[in-house]
Amino acid sequence: MSLVQCPAPGSSDDGHLLDGMPDSAAAGGEDRIGPLPDDILRLVLSFLPSRESVCTCVLARRWRNLWKSVPTVLVYEEEEASFVTSLLLLRDRVPLREFVCISSPSETPQDVEMWLRYAASCHVRVLQVEVRSYDTTERLRLPNMTLVCQQLTSLYICSVELKERTLDLSSCPVLKKLQMTNCEIYAQKIVCQSLRHLVTYMCIFVSDVRTRISCPSLAALELAENVGLTPFLESMPSLVTAFVEFDTEWHEREYPYDHCLNGGYYGDCGDWDCLACRHIDNEGDDCVLLDGLCGATRLTLISTPKMIICTRDFKWRRIFSKLKTLYLSE
């Protein structure tokens, strides 16, 4: 039986397949796998997609239940929701080292949220949620991304709509890395006291007010090619490395976020039709970026000349007392 033809977890077919099978998986030769302890076999299975891991149950009696205690769940977009749900229901409740859920945009948010809650209940340490589609504008809507997970250290989110007004990860007290790619972010605030590394790449900040990033323990920050209002950075005294690349295709956007069409250096061109300067005038004169970046030792700022946030912040003359490496574009 090939791997793709193996029974679904818990199906009636997976019992009689083992009738008359040997206890080990050797077939006409030296069994070099059989002598290995179960923990080593589970480690080997942890690198396989979960469907292939389940399929090993037909190899021999010893393998029948090994897949149930593998410390990873790796499911991909070709899997049906019914398979994933059955897998999680029949799996032993052992701690998860990694949970990877790569789905299609047609997946229901309720199913994905249930799977994430399961991962959190198994004390997952690395969690990845990704939607794959040929159309990069197709995203999975997750109304509730609230996670309560004491052991979570890394969270990767790709092509997801995050609809919450506040993305509060305070209930993940040891979370060190958060990476968001091609996401729609509605949150007006991102909060995590323990976070050390934050990446947003090709994300859309949807809110009509600046998203405040409140992560005081950050040591590394990467904001690259995002669309929307530039996030407001609160104090980051532990920051070491920062990479900020503003939207290089802003001129193709319907709304020229934070870019003055008239070349206003401080966002004060005075043209009422300049939406960027008008927005800045309405929100006040706070320092948006440099307050958060001024503690960095390595700093990269990349933007077009019409980007007014950095030039506007420069007038505050913040002192970069720890800076050792600086790269500025034109």
Q: What is the pLDDT of residues 239-284, one digit of tens each?
A: 999 999 987 776 566 666 777 777 666 666 667 777 777 777 777 6
In this predicted structure, the answer to whether residue 206 has a pLDDT above a threshold of 80 is yes
Contact 162, 187 (CB under 8 A): yes
Higher pLDDT among residues 44 and 278, named by residue: 44
Amino acid at 122: C
* H/E run at residue 233: strand 232-233
Helix/strand/coil for 37: coil
> What is the model's pLDDT at position 263?
66
Q: What percent of the chain has pLDDT over 90?
A: 50
| pLDDT on residue 254 | 63
Q: What is the pLDDT of residue 133?
A: 79
**E strands, 90-205, in order:** 98-103, 126-131, 140-142, 154-158, 160-162, 166-168, 177-181, 184-185, 189-191, 197-201, 204-205
Which pLDDT belongs to residue 91?
Answer: 93
pLDDT attached to residue 23: 55
> Beta 154-158 vs 177-181: how paired, if at all?
parallel
Do 153 and 176 meet the contact criterion of CB atoms below 8 Å apart? yes
Q: Give residue for tokens 């092509």.
A: 159
Asked whether residue 235 carries a pLDDT value surpassing 80, the answer given is: yes
CB 73 within 8 A of CB 45: no
Residue pointed to by tokens 């239940």 = 65
Residue 314 has pLDDT above 90, yes or no: no
Q: What pLDDT score does 4 carry?
A: 39
Contact 70, 97 (CB under 8 A): no
Phi, psi of 76 (to 5 degrees): -125, 175
Contacts of 308 (CB under 8 A, 6+ apart): 258, 259, 260, 264, 265, 266, 267, 276, 277, 280
When pLDDT is cut at 50, 70 and 90, the band that residue 219 belongs to is: very high
For residues 116 and 127, the answer to whether their CB atoms sit within 8 Å is yes
Q: How confident is the model at residue 169 (pLDDT cuts 50, 70, 90)?
A: very high
How much is the average pLDDT of 23-47?
A: 76
- Across the strands, what pairs with 103? 131
The DSSP H or E segment spanning 114 is helix 109-121
Q: Write down the pLDDT at residue 315.
A: 79
- 30 has a pLDDT exceeding 60: yes
Beta bridge partners of 232: 212
Please tell me which residue, 228 or 6, carries the higher pLDDT value. Answer: 228
Entry pTM: 0.85
Residue 2 pLDDT grade (very low, low, confident, very high; cuts 50, 70, 90): very low
pLDDT of residue 251: 59
∠ at Cα 125 (120, 126), nearest 5°?
100
Query: Which of 94 and 267 is assigned the larger pLDDT?
Result: 94
Contacts of 298 (CB under 8 A, 6+ apart): 240, 241, 242, 323, 324, 325, 326
**pLDDT of 6 strictly over 70:** no
Secondary structure class of 255 (helix, strand, coil): coil
Out of 200-204, 205-209, 239-243, least confident range: 205-209
User: Please, which pLDDT band fits residue 18 given cuts at 50, 70 and 90?
Assistant: very low
Confidence of residue 9 (pLDDT cuts 50, 70, 90): low
Residue 294 CA to residue 156 CA, distance in Å, equals: 27
